[in-house]
Chain A
Amino acid sequence: MTDTTIKVDMLARVEGEGAFKVVVRDGRITATEFRIFEPPRFFEAFLRGRDHSEAPDITARICGICPVAYQMSSVQAMEMALGVEVSQPIKDLRRMLYCGEWIESHVLHAAMLHAPDFLGYASAIDMANDGHAATVKLALDYKKIGNAIVTLLGGREIHPINVKVGGWWKAPKKRDMLALREELMRALDMAEAFVDFTASLPFPDKERDYHMVCIEEPNGLYPMYEGTRLISNRGLDIPATAFNDHFDEHHVKQSNALQGRTKAGGAYLTGPLPRYNLAYEKLSERAKAAAVRAGLGREVKNPYRSIVVRAVESLFAVEEAIRLIEDYEEFDPAAVAITPRAGTGMGASEAPRGMLFHQYTLEEDGSIATAQIVPPTAQNQPSIEEDLAELIADELDRPHEEIQWLCEQTIRNYDPCISCATHFLDLTIDRA
C-alpha cells in the first residue's frame, strides 16, 4: 500500500500552535491526532519557589485571550490553600470581571475567527471586504464593552492588574460602575443582533453524544466564576476539589501537552455546550428568549451551534454585568489580609472555552511548592480527535480542500486556546 502524506497550509485562526493529522485507509478514518504545544507545563515549573501572591499575574500571561480565567482559578486555589474566605462583594466583582472576558473572548472568536468558516471566507478581512463589514464592525464595537468591563475592574484592558489573592487591590467607585452600566445598557441591542447573526449561519447537520462537564456554582448561578462542584450529563456530581480523583492528564506521544480524560479513559467535553445544556435554567429570561429565537433547543448536541451558544452567553454576560452593577456598593478594605501558611488548594472556573482547574501546594512561608494547571483545550483534545474521526467520516469523498475546511471549522468549534504556545497549526491528511 502506498501512503500519501499531504501537507496543507496552516490553520491560521486558532490561537496558538499545533497540528492535526487524519489517517485514511480504505476510505475510512483510522486515526486522528490533534497535536498542541503547550506552555502551561513551563509555567507550572516557573511558578515553583515563587510567592503565592505572584500566581495570578504570572498565570494571566499564559493566555492573551483569557487572562481573567487564569487569575480567577488561581486566586480561588490560593485562597483555599491559605484558609481564606473572601466576602460576597469580592466574589461578585470577580464574576463581573469574568463577564467582561466572556464578552471579549466569545465575540472575538465567533465573529473574527469562526464565522468566516461558515460563510466561506478565509478570514474576517475577506468577510469584511465582501459585504460583511457591518457585522465585523458590530463585533468589534461589541467586544469593546467587554474591554470596558475589564478596564474598569482590572485596571487595564489586557492582563488585568487589580486582582490579588484575598480580593482586589482597589474596589471601583460606584459612579464609575453606574457610568459603565449605561454603556452596557446600550450594548444589549448589539448583543441581540449578534445572536441573530450567528443564528443566520448555515450549520452542518451533525450531532454527537458528548460527555459534557462543567462547574456548578454554590448560589444557583450560571457557571462562570466559582466552581464548588463539577457536574456532567452522565451523573458526575463531585466537589471540584476532587477533580484529580475523577480525571487524569495523560501524556500522549504526539504532543507535549497532556490530554484530559476521565479516570475510566473516556473523552469529555468542556465549554459552552456543557454549560448551556447543564445550566440552561440559570440563564436570564432574555438570554433564553434569544436562544429560542436563534433556534437552539433545550438541548444542543450539534458542536457547530456552539457559535450560537457563545453569542447567547455573551448576551447573558452583558445582562449579568448590569445586574452586578445594580447590586454594587463600594467596600473597603478591598481584600482580606493573608497570613502565609502551608496548604493545598484547588480552583475551578469556566474560561470562555471551558473549565480551567488549578491546584497549588504551598510551603509554610507561602511560596509555591507545586503547581498544576489544567487548561480547557487539553481537556477537550480527545474530544476534538473524536469529532474529527466521527464528523468527517462520511465526508471523505469530498475534495481535499473541503475536507480541510471542515476539519478546521470543526476544531474551531472548541475555540481552542493554545496561545499558550505560538503560531501555526499544520494539517496532514495521510491517505493510502
Chain B
Amino acid sequence: MKPLVIGVGNDFAGDDAAGRLVVRGLRGASGFDRAECHGAAADLVTLMEGRQRVLIVDACRSGATPGTLHRLDAGTGDLPPWLRSISSHGIGLAEGVALARTLGVLPPRVEVWAIEGEDFATGAGVSPAVADCIAAVCAAIPGHLAR
C-alpha cells in the first residue's frame, strides 16, 4: 500500500483547518494516498491500519510562534501533550497513535507534522502565518514521502 497523508482538523475552527487544507493542497500529487478526518482516535486507527507509512498533519498549540512546523516521529514514543488539546475531541491524535500501538496496528513509520496555530475561534479563517506554513508543507510532502 502507498504511504497515506492524513489531514486532521475542523474546517470551521480557524487554524484547526490546517491539516485538512494541506491534504486538499496535495490534490493531484501522486505516490501517496490522502485522507481527511476530524481527529477521533478510532478513525485514525482505522485509517492507519495496514499501512507501512503514514504522515499525519494537524494543527497544534504548543506556545511556539504561529506558523512553526513541528516534525515528530510517532514511532519513538508518546506524542507531546499539546497534541491532545487541539486534535478535535477529547480522545484524539495522540490517543489514536497510542491506541494503534497498544493494538499492534501502528504502521512502522508514522510521522506527525503539527502546524502551530494562532486563532482557533469558531468561524475564524486561517491566519496568515499558518497559510504560509500550509503552502510550504504542501510543497515539501511529495519529496519527503519519495525518500
A→B interface (CB under 8 Å): 10-16, 39, 42-43, 46, 61, 64-65, 108, 112-113, 123-125, 128-129, 133, 136-137, 139-140, 143-144, 147, 157-159, 419, 421-425
How far is it, in angstroms, between the C-alpha of A425 and the C-alpha of B91 when the chains are bound? 12
A36 to chain B minimum Cβ distance, whole angstroms, is 13
B123 touches A46 (CB 8 A): yes
**How many B residues are at the interface, by size bracket?**
20 to 34
**For A423, what are the chain B residues with a Cβ–Cβ distance below 8 Å?**
85-86, 88-90
Residue B116 interfacial (CB < 8 Å): no
A421 touches B46 (CB 8 A): no
**For A424, what are the chain B residues with a Cβ–Cβ distance below 8 Å?**
85, 90
Known: A42-B123, A61-B11, A422-B88. A124 touches B40 (CB 8 A): no
B123 to chain A minimum Cβ distance, whole angstroms, is 5
**For B122, what are the chain A residues with a Cβ–Cβ distance below 8 Å?**
39, 42, 421
A44 to chain B minimum Cβ distance, whole angstroms, is 12
Task: Among A39, A46, A422, find the residue whose CB has the most chain B CB atoms closer than 10 A.
Answer: A422
B12 touches A42 (CB 8 A): yes
B90 touches A158 (CB 8 A): no
B46 touches A13 (CB 8 A): no
B103 touches A158 (CB 8 A): no
How far is it, in angstroms, between the C-alpha of A421 and the C-alpha of B123 when the chains are bound? 11
**For A15, what are the chain B residues with a Cβ–Cβ distance below 8 Å?**
89-90
Known: A125-B98, A147-B46, A158-B43. A112 touches B91 (CB 8 A): yes
- A/B interface sample: 30 pairs, CB < 8 A: A13-B91, A14-B90, A15-B89, A39-B12, A42-B122, A43-B12, A61-B10, A61-B11, A64-B10, A64-B88, A108-B40, A108-B42, A112-B42, A112-B91, A123-B91, A123-B95, A125-B95, A125-B99, A125-B102, A128-B99, A128-B102, A129-B102, A136-B99, A136-B103, A137-B103, A421-B122, A422-B13, A423-B88, A423-B89, A423-B90
A119 to chain B minimum Cβ distance, whole angstroms, is 15
